[in-house]
Chains A and B, each alone.
Chain A
Amino acid sequence: MYDFTHHRPASVDDAVKALAGASDGKFMAGGMTLIPTLKQRLASPSDLVDLGGIRDLKGIREDGGKLVIGAMTTHATVARDATVRAKIPALAHLADGIGDPQVRNRGTIGGSIANNDPAADYPAGLVGLGATVHTSKRELSADDFFTGMFETALAEDEIVTAVAFPQPDKAAYVKFANPASRYAIVGVMVAKGPAGVRVAVTGAGPSVFRLADAESALGGNFSADAVGNVKVSADGLNSDLHASAEYRAHLVSVMLKRAVAAAAG
């Protein structure tokens, strides 16, 4: 990797200041995408502002019926947290299936969503569960947060601080993992709760998307039968060495049914 200046601020304010003082700075959460990118010399930031020293960004708490997960909370922590497992087991299951143990012990929810990899699991989790993203500047819905492939609504100097999840009545996340990388080729989060029925798909398209047909079908009858005929067009879906767009479209239907069955069960 190229040389850079490393900062490890103790507060969000100091992090924002450190970035402002850099010519071409970057925030770093768990670094699970950024570090390999640096090692391959595909990025050369002047400064890295490491968010790992900010205590306020870590931890899980309940707040007004919502589960609030600090941005720097690792996937492993979410996966084994007793509150998450009791209130939203689908979310714990999602976190438990990300990458491998090393990634789960370093990678964070904030880092994952700020990167918005089209094959990441958390975007489906947030959109499917109707979560709210808290940042250093504002609060916004998950629907508004993810804007495109590797793109979010975050400004350059804006830091994700936490994600607040409403507790669903029923929810499940089912994923078809890339056998090599364990990223989602297709991942579907289905939830029924205060935000209504929501279905979010990751891995299949350029960015997480909702399945309106499935949501309306499930609104009347929350069962796998109700989505038996939901089909997705392959147009615009991702296609790579591991899965064609046509196969992904098919897998969305299969994962959808399985997610609904798991949630309803």
Chain B
Amino acid sequence: MPDSGPDTGIGASVKRKEDFRFLTGQGRFTDDIDRPGQVHAYFVRSPHAHARIKGIDKAAAEQAPGVIAVFTGADMAADNVGSLPCGWVVTDRHGQPHKAPPHFPLARDKVLYVGDHVAVAIAETYAQAKEAGEQVAVDYEELPAIANPAKAAAEGAPQVHDEAPGNLCYDWVMGDEAQVDAAFAKAHHVTRLDLINNRLIPNAMEPRAAIGEYDGGTDNYTLYSTSQNPHLLKLILCAFVFGLNENKLRVIAPDVGGGFGSKIFCYAEETVCTWAAKKVRRPVKWTAERSESFSSDAHGRDHVTHAELAMDENGKFLGLKVETTANMGAYLSSFATAVPTYLYATLLAGQYTTPVIFANVKAVFTNTAPVDAYRGAGRPEATYVLERIVEVAAREMKIDPVELRRRNFIQPDQFPYQTPVALQYDIGDYDQSMDKALEMIDYKGFAERRKASEAKGKLRGIGISAYIEACGIAPSAVVGSLGAGVGLWESAQVRFNPTGSVTIFTGSHSHGQGHETTFSQLVADTLGVPIENVEIVHGDTGSVPMGMGTYGSRSLAVGGSAIAKACDKIIEKSRKIAAHLMEASVEDVEFDKGKFRVAGTDKEKSIAEIAFTAYVPHNYPADVEPGLDETAFYDPLNFTYPAGVHICEVEIDPATGITEVVDWVAVDDFGKVINPMVVEGQVHGGIAQGVGQAMLENCVYDMESGQLLTGSYMDYCMPRAGDLPSFRIGLTETPCTHNPLGVKGCGEAGAIAAPPAVINAITDALGILSMDMPATPEKVWRLANQHAQAAE
């Protein structure tokens, strides 16, 4: 039972504390902030996918009404503003670092994608800035463009960067190719599959925004930004871009309305606003228009893959071989290189005992927007490869797909389990999740449901996805050895205020995940204080200890563990104070539900009384410092490994190709759960995004011109409530073995599990082996027709 009562402790579905302000329009987002004297920035962007800048005439723009300044790449170069770095060095198969061409915040000689930044106009109002921006005359020499990643490395393809011949960023391998070849030589059957992981546009509800501010009196900068990791943004801007001491920049990321990864990165616009604030000596504000979000937020996925799975006669997996071309876009975004390598190939074992795996990933540059982490980041791509090829293998081997998976599941007594692709899983029970999911969906009854659908003229299919993800990427020493430029620990500061309330400073950053609720529950439960007496502070490098932010489903497993560690320090210090007050020895003082008691007596002191004593230390132990304020840093020993089984059923109208997802069961093992309602919300959102990728969303560039064809909601289809069934959620629990909370993370699971479940279901309904996402009505109609004709 939860310690501080059933309503607010660990395991309770506490309503989200932050929702009152969000639902009543009282959230405070970057665009809600207006600084005194602020001026507005408008970015002049490239209309071409690839062009040389022969000249920029800004004279007319500078004379336009309200204009304060117009800057180009030359102005930033004159101030020695550096290139936006990529923070993860991938070493290629020849031992060479990846090709890292420069990415200047404002283009210098060439523009490399539609939406690339050419100049900034700064004026008293946004309308005036935009007006002036339109008068910046850029003389372009158009160059041939390459938008198709599958053709980027081909001979004669247009070259994006001189520094990257053949448009190759890296050619990287993981695993032992010779061993895999030996396994394939012994195989009874090899399943082969080509697939495309479609490119996505993140579409956070809140567009990116920034306000750069400069204080001439102190020579200090402040940047308000829609960032998922303000400390990291500060570090990148100071150490790599501006060459500025870190004490001179404060980054504030207030309420942030969704990110899905796209707000991890250091972008040109916030860089320019910060730099320009000193140039014009006024705060400079920019908020993306939605069409700018489409063209210049870092996109997600975009893989072309060939995979082969070798099996023995019983369907036991002998080896897996995967070749992937990953599109990096025109420039390397902050963590782009890591996504299709260490966050992708490492997941290719999935829930299975495949003994040998070889992956070869070629990352290519194209004249498209940069591609980087997007909800799941590499793990959805890996899961899609694996759960699709396992499904196809089952159909080819004529083994029930559940049975084939079970024959290959890692068994509970095999943990900790070392995969052939670097990871060591700590714990899991994959049959248990499968059993529960099959029962919830009534797997046995599917044949009857299929008949009922057929009677209505519909094709029904069922699709399974048994996924695993690796969350809370760590420990720092390991990621460092793999090329990461940062540590991946987290910080927390737990501060008791004198009258007994608690302020928590966390390096995690909530942009929709409900940290204020979950973390408050954790603290209320651990310290035994009422939840309303707990305040969560995040997102301000001026007040929060250095932290690493929120991505990769890491906040509870890493950030929450740091809070738990800091709470432990608070309790231990308080115990000494309590012992002094109750004239007992420290060893005899017990702590439970917010009270310190001397064992075997009725003496007790509440933790609030201890806090007051710590700040008003009139009667106080001599060897204890005043105050009750503890900071902890937590560097995990390993990733966490949430896993589960999602099963969906679809009904297809063969006359139109319209596919309806009619049922969805999600059984997830997230370890210990602090707030089931918040977890369920994360699962719902993740599945919606996964279904979006599988059926609706597709970022399309014209392959010849490099123009973005899906640049608005008229053509880029987001999932709506009506596109989705009521999800049925089940949980299993094998607590994480190596963090103090036993938690694993839940934010990305749905987006990882869903796409293969949908495509497995649709191909099952159509009686085919394979199709590419998104399963649009026309595609499904054509496949249904081809199949019907072939059957005739």
State the A residues within 8 Å of B (CB).
40-41, 176, 179-181, 183, 241-244, 247, 250-251, 254
Contact = CB atoms under 8 A, between A and B. Distances in A.
B696 interface: yes
19 contacts: A40-B291, A41-B134, A176-B656, A179-B696, A179-B723, A180-B714, A180-B715, A180-B717, A241-B700, A241-B710, A242-B776, A242-B778, A243-B777, A243-B778, A247-B782, A250-B781, A251-B656, A254-B655, A254-B656
A243 B700 CA distance: 14
Contacts of B655: 254
Contacts of A180: 696, 713-718
B477 interface: no
Contacts of A40: 291
B709 interface: yes
Interface string B780-792: 0110000000000
Contacts of B715: 180-181, 241-242
The interface size bin for chain B is 20 to 34
Contacts of B714: 180-181, 183
Contact of A247 (B713, B718, B778): B778
A243 B781 CA distance: 11
Given A241-B710, A254-B655, A247 B696 contact: no
Contacts of A181: 713-715
B781 A179 contact: no
Contacts of A251: 656
B126 to A, nearest CB: 12
Interface of B: 134, 291, 655-656, 658, 696, 700, 709-710, 713-718, 723, 776-778, 781-782
A247 B700 CA distance: 20
Nearest to B718: A180
Contacts, number: 38
A184 to B, nearest CB: 13
A61 to B, nearest CB: 34
Q: Which 7 A-B pairs have the closest CB atoms?
A: A180-B717, A181-B714, A247-B778, A179-B717, A254-B655, A243-B778, A180-B715
B241 to A, nearest CB: 32
A241 B709 contact: yes
A60 to B, nearest CB: 28
Contacts of B781: 247, 250
A248 B782 CA distance: 12
Nearest to A179: B717
Given A179-B776, A242-B778, 17 more contacts: A41-B134, A176-B656, A176-B658, A179-B717, A180-B713, A180-B714, A180-B715, A180-B716, A180-B718, A181-B714, A181-B715, A242-B715, A242-B776, A243-B777, A244-B778, A247-B778, A247-B782
A223 to B, nearest CB: 18
Nearest to A251: B656
A217 B413 CA distance: 71
Contacts of A242: 715, 776, 778
B200 to A, nearest CB: 14
A243 B22 CA distance: 39
A254 B655 CA distance: 7
A83 B714 CA distance: 33
Contacts of B700: 241
Nearest to B696: A179
B779 to A, nearest CB: 10
Nearest to B653: A254
Nearest to A183: B714
Contacts of B709: 241
A183 B777 CA distance: 15
A244 B778 CA distance: 8
B99 to A, nearest CB: 33
Contacts of B713: 180-181
A242 to B, nearest CB: 7
A243 B782 CA distance: 11
A179 B777 contact: yes
A213 B655 CA distance: 21
A247 B785 CA distance: 12
